Amino acid sequence: MTAQVSFDFTGTEALITGGTSGIGYATAVLFRDAGAQVAITGTKPAASDYDVDLSGMAYHQLRMTEHDSVDALAQNFARLDVLVNNAGIAGPTAAVEDIAPDDWSRTLAVNITGQFLCARKAVPLLKEAGGGCIINMSSAAGRLGYPLRTPYAASKWAVVGFTESLAMELGPHNIRVNTILPGLVQGERITRVLAARAQAQGLEYEEMERQYLDRVSLRRMVSPADVAAMVSFLCSPAGRNISGQSLGVCGNIEVLR
């Protein structure tokens, strides 16, 4: 069953980073189809470089780790109501002693510093609009330990602390800040993650996937649309009193290992 939502976002200006695939793309399409003016970011030079339908969306190439790139992006907005800090990377799968410092630094730079850089430029626009909503994408790895994925887990735990602090700071300005903790999200990315982990542990891919699903209470993956539905709920009038929360959309992952 696919998540269904029917919120009206007519007149809403939304920026969704990493909006060309997966959760980001599902969220962008949902907001676009609900009447919002949607801007998305990606790493490629142009929207035509992607094999998905980006019609009706403003596309911007963005280097998440470079503040001058984020600053340039902000110049395109006269108003902003919603920021979805979705862009992120999986980082390496390896024992801590085998992780290159550059890989550690890049994972944190994209996954948490990038969110800070975007929020830094979005907040003045949200304040000027009289309020709004920030959604920071974390992970089930932002509430559970995750051996062999220490850079990723560290970055996603940091997102939770960043979110809770921002919610307190921005609440008086009518800006709500929440974080979503997805689990096993169907798509190419989780396939790559499970394949890398299977290789690291000397297992077949099918066995690795089975072990992961056995640790999910609902015994299934979630879809990008499931996560997008939660984003839309939090940004809608129905979520007007929800802030500072970390909300799992994961089927209840019990443990990561």
Residues known to be catalytic:
152
Q: HSE on the CB side for 222, CA within 13 Å?
A: 28
Determine phi and psi for 18, rounding to 5 degrees: 60, 45
- Do 224 and 190 form a contact (C-beta atoms < 8 A)? no
Residue 60's beta-bridge partner residues? Answer: 41
Determine phi and psi for 210, rounding to 5 degrees: -60, -45
Q: How far is CA 79 from CA 13, 19, 161, 190, 209, in A?
A: 7, 19, 27, 35, 43
d(CA 55, CA 57): 5
Strands 57-61 and 37-42 come out as parallel
d(CA 231, CA 23): 10
Which of 162, 40, 61 is CA-nearest to residue 108? 162
